[in-house]
Amino acid sequence: MSNAPTSNSNAASAEAARRRTFAVIAHPDAGKSTLTEALALHAHMISEAGAVHGKAGRKSTVSDWMEMEKDRGISIASSALQFEYAPAGYEGEPYMINLVDTPGHADFSEDTYRVLTAVDAAVMLIDAAKGLEPQTLKLFRVCKARGLPIITVINKWDRVGREPLELVDEIVSEIGLQPTPLFWPVGEAGDFRGLARINTDGEAEEYIHFIRTAGGTTIAPEEIYAPEDAAEKEGEAWETAAEEAELLAADGAVHDQESFLHCETSPLIFASAMLNFGVHQILDTLCALAPSPGERLSDEHAVDESTTAMDSFRGVGDEFSGVVFKVQAGMDKNHRDSLAFMRVVSGEFDRGMQVTHAQSGRSFSTKYALTVFGRTRSTVDTAFPGDIVGLVNAGSLAPGDTIYAGRKVQYPPMPQFAPEHFRTLRAKSLGKYKQFRKALEQLESEGVVQILRNDLRGDAAPVMAAVGPMQFEVMQARMLNEYNVETVTEPIPYSVARKTDADSAEDLGRQRGVEIFNRTDGELIALFGDKWRLQFIQKEHPEFTLEPMVADD
């Protein structure tokens, strides 16, 4: 059998080369959804950006679709947006941008982690006044572990904030990532006049002056000045920017592509997503520097006697394969369906093609395939590596699952975060039990929470396990809005979870302050009152199997 590339593989490789798939990560309220809309505005996907969400009389951003998101002004669910973009003066075929907006609240870290398995780079958004915050640090570590290159954006430079050199020092000292300025601010925080474009020698070679628009709802016009003209126009503000850039360059903070791809350095841009200042510079940088989709290793643990011929990896030009990173229902009240969000890993996806579910071996048709942003849906006929596709009513798919055509491939499973909060859940009315069970099954399959059961508590009052308590609110809100089931939750006296096995479970369950549960995937889960109780039992009974809930990355 010939291994020569086919026209389809050539097409897939060419399409992959022009794709940039990235996520926006940050601490809550750093401006992720606002930036998402600003990027869409600069790509001419929308004509006017939504204002800050969560304020009376103002529009919510188009990427936020849950009522809770609109009411609270935070992003709870991830959403994906695809658009073409060509930097000014670029003469080739436009880049295809796949932008994934992630949940903003720390309680939804697990959903953000799933998104990070589906992208090739990340934009780390930092509030100019607050600097690095706990959620940013946590997500950076996930990116580092996954080898995702990071572009750093200091946002909200139009507001009073910290000194730019101080923010750079904090990034270096806190996370060991060296920012390399590409666009340095002219004017201190709160007096954002424009950006100095920094060349590879650390010199300010051009001044980009921004002109404000009403409310920042349209693209901000730019005026370009040579350095000598910038010095005359802005005086000390320009001289300060040029000197600071030179100071960083002297300290080695200049862009090197290999260091960037190895997560050692991070191109740095200052911006105001609200005013649309510095936004297209972010897009230009992604197009020029972010990696295109590449090969992905298969799961060595999935190889058995029936799959010994499974490839060790799939290149972008190989036969079609994809990974499901999220399952979501209730996005549109007019469509009582569920969507499995899939990242195309290799080959060409054609709507209606017959694919195989690696985990079950079952075949199914992809007749209904969509691109989705918020509640906006459009049919997708063809997709290539790096693209995000929503498969409708693919009920057998779960986050981490692989689908493929041709030779079998199965990618590594998706680790789950260790839950730290636990509550029982039951229907307020016994007459709603049937709907309660249906809703529970659907929302659990999406990964909204983990569901734990045992004989003592029964099926009517299972235990929800979550990373953060707001997941419980989402669970109850969606049960009510999508299934018309009003629910009641009650706390239980546990705060630590560990995986155990059948040999340990019986004796472990007799210990004071311990309860054993079954998770839907078959795992046995032991809950402990607190970490001190866990440590005591581990010391007294070293024979018990007690493993952390998070799988190795």
Sheet (strand 514-519) strand order: 487-491, 421-427, 463-466, 450-453, 514-519, 524-528, 496-500
pLDDT per residue as tens digits for the range 72-105: 544 444 467 889 999 988 988 999 999 987 765 5
Binding residues: 101-105
Using 50, 70 and 90 to split pLDDT, how confident is the model at 241? very high
Compute the average pLDDT of residues 339-365. Answer: 93
pLDDT of residue 106: 56
CA-wise closest residue to 400 among 322, 339, 300: 322
Indicate if the pLDDT at residue 334 is higher than 60: no
Query: Percent of the chain beyond pLDDT 70?
Result: 86
Q: Give me the half-sphere count of Cα atoms (radius 13 Å) on the Cβ side of residue 322.
A: 33
Residue 216 has which token pair? Answer: 């920042």
Q: Give yes or no for a contact between 131 and 154, defined as CB atoms under 8 angstroms apart.
A: no
Most confident of 43-57, 167-181, 441-455: 167-181
Model confidence at 234: pLDDT above 60: yes
134, two tokens:
């706990």
Higher pLDDT, 33 or 55: 33
Nearest to 24 by CA among 133, 126, 109, 100: 100
pLDDT at 63 over 90: no
Q: In the predicted model, is pLDDT for residue 154 greater than 90?
A: yes
Torsion of CA 59, 65, 70, 74, to 10 degrees: -110
Q: Which residues are documented as binding site for GTP?
A: 101-105
HEC-encoded secondary structure of 205-240: EEEEEECCCHHHCCCCCEEEECHHHHHHHHCHHHHH
d(CA 6, CA 9): 5
Query: For the residues of 27-53, what is the DSSP string, one character each?
Result: STTSSHHHHHHHHHHHTTS-SS----T
DSSP 107: G
| pLDDT, the chain, mean | 86
In the prediction, which pLDDT does 57 show?
Answer: 38
Q: ∠273-235-277 over CA atoms, to 5°?
A: 10
**What pLDDT was estimated at residue 97?**
95
Average pLDDT over residues 49-66: 44
- Identify residue 354 by its one-letter amino acid code: Q
Question: Does 452 score more than 80 pLDDT?
Answer: yes
Q: What is the mean pLDDT of residues 352-372?
A: 90
Q: What is the pLDDT of residue 552?
A: 37
Q: What is residue 1's predicted lDDT score, i.e. its pLDDT?
A: 37
For 312, which DSSP code?
A: S
The per-residue b/e assignment along 162-185, b for 16 or more CB within 10 angstroms, e otherwise, is bebeebbeebeeebebbbbbbbbb
Domains, the chain, with CATH or none: 19-289 (3.40.50.300), 296-404 (2.40.30.10), 421-540 (3.30.70.3280)
Place of tokens 């643990």: 301
Three-state secondary structure string covering 362-416: CEEECCCEEEEECCEEEECCEECCCCEEEEECCCCCCCCCEEECCCCCCCCCCCC
Of 54-68, 304-318, 512-526, the one with minimum mean pLDDT is 54-68
Please name the residue ranges forming H helices in 419-497.
433-446, 470-483
Taking the model in full, what pTM does it have? 0.81
- Lowest mean pLDDT across 38-47, 242-251, 256-265: 38-47
Of 74 and 315, the one with more pLDDT = 315
User: Do the strands 363-365 and 338-346 form a parallel or antiparallel pair, or are they unpaired?
Assistant: unpaired
d(CA 197, CA 288) in angstroms, rounded, equals: 15
394 vs 374: CA distance, rounded Å = 19
46: which residues sit within 8 A by CB, 6+ positions away? 37, 40, 62
> Which among 236, 444, 413 has a CA at the least distance from the CA of 325?
413
What H or E segment, with its residue span, contains residue 427? strand 421-427
